[in-house]
Structure 1
Amino acid sequence: MDANLARLTRLVPPPAAGRNKDWEEVRRAVGADLPADYKEFIRTYAGSYWDDYLYVLEPGCPNRHYDLLALNAHAMEDLEGLWEYEERPPRLEEPGSRLIPWAVTDNGETAYWLARPGVPADRWTVMVNEDGDRWEHADTTCTGFLFAVLTGEIVCDLFSPHYFPLPEHRCRRLDGAGPAGMTPLSPDTA
C-alpha cells in the first residue's frame, strides 16, 4: 500500500471495501494513466466526502455530480475560458501540461493533478484553484495532500479554515445523488 494512503487509513479507517474500476477504460477516457495511489484510494474508500467539505472524485461515481470522468471532460475547456480573463499559472506554461481534477469542495475550489509531459503519473503534484486567479501548488501526491491537509501538515489557504478540516474527521462514501446518497465510512461519522 502507498505510504500516504497507509497513513490516511490509520487516520480515518476505510470501509470493508471500496470499489474496483476498469482502469484501462478510465485511462482511455481521461487520455492518461492515473496515479497508483489514487487507484488504491478508490479501491479503499471509493469516491468520498471528507470532513463535510471535500469531495474526492471517482470515475463512474454513482453520484454523477462527483464523477471524475464527467468533470474531466469539461475541465480544460472551462479553464481555457477562465484564462481569457485571468492569468494562466506559470506551472502550466510548459507545452503539453494539463490539469486533471480529482477533488472539489462545497465552496467551489478544485484540486487538480498537474500532469506534465514526461512526468510519470505517480509523480504528479497537486494544484488547487478557487475558481479565479488564485492558485496553490503542493509538491505531493493526491493521497499525500489529503492526509497533510487533514492533519494540518499543509494549510491550503484557498480552503475555508473555519470549516475544514474538522477536529474529528468524517468520511462518507458517495453512493447516490445528494447528501442522502452517502454511506458513512468511519465510526465517528455523525
Structure 2
Amino acid sequence: MSNALARLLEIAPAPSQPLDKGWSEVEQTLAVGLPNDYKELIGVYGGSNWDDYLYVLEPDCPNKHYDLLKWAKYQFEDLQELWTFEKKPEELETEGSVVIPWATTDNGECLYWLVLPGVDPNEWTVMVNEARGPRWEHYSVSCTQFLASALTGELQSNILSSSFPLATHEFRRLGPV
C-alpha cells in the first residue's frame, strides 16, 4: 500500500467492499498499463466522490458518467481536435506524449496523467485542466498523492475550486444512476 493511500484511509475510512477489477482487460483497452497506486485506490474506494466536488473515474464504473474508459476515449478525441487551434501545454510537446483522464470535478475541470514515451506508469504525474479554458497545471506527484495532498491542503491548485477541500471531508462511492 502506498503512503498516499494510507493517508487517504486516515481521511476517509474504506468502504467495506473492496473491488477487484480485471486490470489486464482495462489496460488492453487503453493500450497502456496503469499506475499501481491508481489500481490500489480503485480497489479500496472504487469510483468515488470526494468532498462533494472531485470524482475519481473507475473503469466500468457503476455510474456510467464516471467510466474511465469512456472518458479516456472522448477526452483523447476532444483534445486532439482542440489542439488543432489551441496551443498544447508545453509538457505535451514531446513526440508521443498524451494525457489520460483519471478524475473530474463537478465544475468540469479534468485531472489527467501525463504519459510520456518510455516513462513507467508508476512515474506518471498529474496535469489539471480548467473547465472550458486553456489553463493547465502540472504536479510532479502520482494521482493518489495528488488526491491526498489536495484533501489535506498541502497541495493547492489555482484551477480547482477554492471551496475544495471541505473542512470536514466527505466521501462516497459512486453507484448506478
What is residue 180 of structure 1 aligned with on the other side?
A: none
Deviations 1:32-79 (A, max 9, x none): 110000000011000000000000000000110000001111111101
2:69 is the alignment partner of 1:63:
no
What is residue 155 of structure 1 aligned with on the other side?
A: 156
Superposition pairs of residues 16-35 of structure 1, within 5 angstroms: 16-35=16-35
* 1:134 CA displacement: 0.1
* 1:88 CA displacement: 0.5
What is residue 51 of structure 2 aligned with on the other side?
A: 51
Deviations 1:6-38 (A, max 9, x none): 111112111112311100000011111100000
User: What is the alpha-carbon distance in structure 2 between the residues aligned to residue 101 and residue 136 of structure 1?
Assistant: 14
- State, as a whole percentage, how many aligned pairs show the same letter: 53
**Which 5+ residue runs of structure 2 have no aligned equivalent?**
none
What is residue 186 of structure 1 aligned with on the other side?
A: none
Detail structure 1 runs of 4+ shifted over 3 Å in the superposition: none
Is the contact made by 1:82 and 1:132 (CA closer than 8 Å) also made in structure 2? no
* 1:99 CA displacement: 0.4
Query: Which SS does the other structure have where 2:100 is aligned?
Result: strand
Aligned length: 176
- Return the TM-score normalized by structure 2: 0.97
User: What is the alpha-carbon distance in structure 1 between the residues aligned to residue 117 and residue 172 of structure 2?
Assistant: 34
What is residue 181 of structure 1 aligned with on the other side?
A: none
User: What is the alpha-carbon distance in structure 1 between the residues aligned to residue 28 and residue 63 of structure 2?
Assistant: 21
User: What is the alpha-carbon distance in structure 1 between the residues aligned to residue 97 and residue 72 of structure 2?
Assistant: 14
What is residue 136 of structure 1 aligned with on the other side?
A: 137
The amino acid of 2:164's aligned partner reads F
What is residue 88 of structure 1 aligned with on the other side?
A: 88
Aligned-residue Cα RMSD (Å) equals 0.9
The amino acid of 2:156's aligned partner reads V
- Return the TM-score normalized by structure 1: 0.90
User: What is the alpha-carbon distance in structure 2 between the residues aligned to residue 156 and residue 17 of structure 1?
Assistant: 32
User: What is the alpha-carbon distance in structure 1 between the residues aligned to residue 105 and residue 16 of structure 2?
Assistant: 25
Is the contact made by 1:30 and 1:69 (CA closer than 8 Å) also made in structure 2? yes
2:114 is the alignment partner of 1:114:
yes
The amino acid of 2:150's aligned partner reads V
* 1:3 CA displacement: 1.1
What is residue 123 of structure 2 aligned with on the other side?
A: 123
The worse-fitting range, judged by mean Cα deviation, of 15-24 and 163-172 is 15-24
The amino acid of 1:128's aligned partner reads V
User: What is the alpha-carbon distance in structure 1 between the residues aligned to residue 167 and residue 52 of structure 2?
Assistant: 12
Query: Which SS does the other structure have where 1:81 is aligned?
Result: helix
Deviations 1:149-188 (A, max 9, x none): 1111110111110x211000000000111xxxxxxxxxxx
Query: Which SS does the other structure have where 1:108 is aligned?
Result: coil
